[in-house]
Structure 1
Amino acid sequence: MGSGSGSDSNGWNRARGLAVKTLLLIGGALLVKRLRKSTTRWDHAHFVSKSLTGQKYSQDQASRDPDNYFNIRLLTCPAAELVDGSKVLYFEQAFWRSPQKPFRQRFFLVKPCPKELKCDVELSAYAIRDMEEYKNFCDRPRDQRPQPEEVIGDIAEHLTTVHLKRCPRGKRCLYEGSTPPGGFPNSWNGASYCSSEISIMKNNEIHTWDRGYDDDGNQVWGQKEGPYEFKPAPTSSFNDMFSPLNFPPPPSTERRIEGSFVLQE
């Protein structure tokens, strides 16, 4: 009787061990299959949409170089989806101290690059028909925002398009890109055309660099020192209410931060 019980126990242990090995083999095969699965064009577009979404600030950069950069809040959130799967994001920028008064508002359209282009994601900026109606869109409850069908109807003229490519291994960025050669027409502050660059970084930062040029190729607006660096804000940022960096500059200096990718009057 005792011998039979031991035999049953050994048999059960062997069966259990075999089951565990089988599960491990199946799990390993599924993992390898998943790792080998190529990233689709839409995977790239969805990742870029997710990376752009949320609140990011240029506070660190403004602290390092207050003469050339301001503490700005960049806020982006999903607004609608087109029938082809393209994402429409609402975007606004405001000075940190007055987030309820955005000085830039745009729609972003995110979709895969056309197959004939050597890029992964196409990111386009569009004007909004009634910007006042969309102020603080992302901060409002969903039932108090314009609904997706209204959003689609309020997409106005096309402003710029940036073509993003996945960054090579070893670089700090995940995706980077720029407007096509020659940029896009722009008449603000004496410009005849503008260019935009954007990088999505591995540490969840977004770097943007917008510049305007006249007919002779001279830069007439935009940062000369380098791109704006927007980072997810640490908690301490919200406690520093009286930092001079959080006060908007006088109107004469605001001209320095205007950018083609998000603003084209």
Structure 2
Amino acid sequence: MKKILLLFAGITLFISCKSGQNQSSKNSSELNELVSIMQGHYSSEIQSKEDKDYYNISLRMTPIWKEKGNYLFVEQAIFDKQDKPYRVRVYRVTQKSENEFISEIFTIKNEKDWIGKWATPKDYDKLTESDIELKEGCQVTLKRDGKNNFSGATGDKTCPSELRGASFANSIVTVTKNEILSWDQGFDKEGKQVWGATKGGYRFIKMKE
């Protein structure tokens, strides 16, 4: 029997958001590249057909708050239950150095009020920075490996997790033009894995819409 809660708990720790000043006018071409390829609607359908231990997951990332920086509104759901996402977040991506980028993640207060608003994105203008809360220590540092190719991970034991007896969570991520690979796992204080995929990350393929 598939352990839905264990698998879903860690998917997409890697993408994020953080309150701050307007940076949209300061973006480098590399930062624009990363934010651009992250946007869109993704599915893990192919992987789910190849391996029954993986579900067909919908991952949808919609740009919001463009005047404030590089923000994305994210929903994840079983593909045929997209009206009931199990994960709702807001993310922001920033540049750390010439070849490094930081991705942080925020939870949303009253998240049910925002489900499905990707269909009318102007509605996100009503969402404010006071409505989101940073998940401390769960940011991912991504390095640009080449054109439309970024990879990275969370810090070593920096992202706290209490799910299923976990002490911390790790995430390993690769972002390319049409695919995101995210391997998220939770470990107890002895370093034993207690949730998350065991074979490898979820492979999300960007859909044509």
Identify the TM-score tier after normalising by the shorter chain: 0.7 to 0.9
Which of 175, 192, 217 matches 2:167? Answer: 192
Contact kept? 1:80, 1:152, Cα under 8 Å:
no
- Output the aligned Cα RMSD: 2.2
Higher relative contact order (CA 8 A, sep 6+): 2
Q: CA deviation at 1:82?
A: 6.2
Contact kept? 2:165, 2:194, Cα under 8 Å:
yes
Q: Match of 2:144, as an amino acid?
A: R
> Which whole-Å CA distance do the structure 1 matches of 2:28 and 2:207 have between them?
29
- Specify the alignment match of 1:87 in structure 2: 70
Instruction: List aligned pairs for 1:215-230, cutoff 5 A.
Output: 215-230=189-204
> Which whole-Å CA distance do the structure 1 matches of 2:186 and 2:132 have between them?
24
Contact kept? 1:90, 1:137, Cα under 8 Å:
no
Q: CA deviation at 1:80?
A: 1.1
Contact kept? 1:109, 1:123, Cα under 8 Å:
yes
Runs of 4+ off more than 6 Å: none
Larger radius of gyration: 1
> Which whole-Å CA distance do the structure 1 matches of 2:201 and 2:121 have between them?
33
- Specify the alignment match of 2:3 in structure 1: none
- Specify the alignment match of 1:14 in structure 2: none
- Specify the alignment match of 1:156 in structure 2: 133
Q: Quick one: structure 1 residues 182 and 41, their matched pair in 2 at CA, closer, same or farther if it must change by over 3 Å?
A: farther
Residue 174 of structure 1 pairs with residue 174 of structure 2: no
For residues 149-177 of structure 1, give each alpha carbon's deviation from its aligned partner in whole angstroms, at most 9, with x where no partner exists.
x33231213252000001158xxx70000
For residues 82-132 of structure 1, give each alpha carbon's deviation from its aligned partner in whole angstroms, at most 9, with x where no partner exists.
64xx3111001011111111110111111101x4xx852111111111111
> Which whole-Å CA distance do the structure 1 matches of 2:134 and 2:175 have between them?
25
Residue 207 of structure 1 pairs with residue 187 of structure 2: no
More strand by share: 2
Matched position secondary structure for 1:176: strand
> Which whole-Å CA distance do the structure 2 matches of 1:231 and 1:217 have between them?
31
- Specify the alignment match of 1:259 in structure 2: none
Matched position secondary structure for 1:167: strand
Residue 98 of structure 1 pairs with residue 77 of structure 2: no
Instruction: List aligned pairs for 1:1-265, cutoff 5 A.
Output: 42-66=28-52, 68-81=53-66, 83=68, 86-113=69-96, 115=97, 119-139=99-119, 141-143=120-122, 145-147=123-125, 150-159=127-136, 160-167=138-145, 174-202=149-177, 204-233=178-207
- Specify the alignment match of 1:37 in structure 2: none
Contact kept? 2:104, 2:134, Cα under 8 Å:
no
Q: Quick one: structure 1 residues 178 and 119, their matched pair in 2 at CA, closer, same or farther if it must change by over 3 Å?
A: farther
- Count of aligned positions: 183
- In the alignment, structure 1 segments of 5+ residues that lack a partner are 1-39, 236-265
Contact kept? 2:179, 2:206, Cα under 8 Å:
yes
Q: Quick one: structure 1 residues 112 and 198, their matched pair in 2 at CA, closer, same or farther if it must change by over 3 Å?
A: same
- In the alignment, structure 2 segments of 5+ residues that lack a partner are 1-25
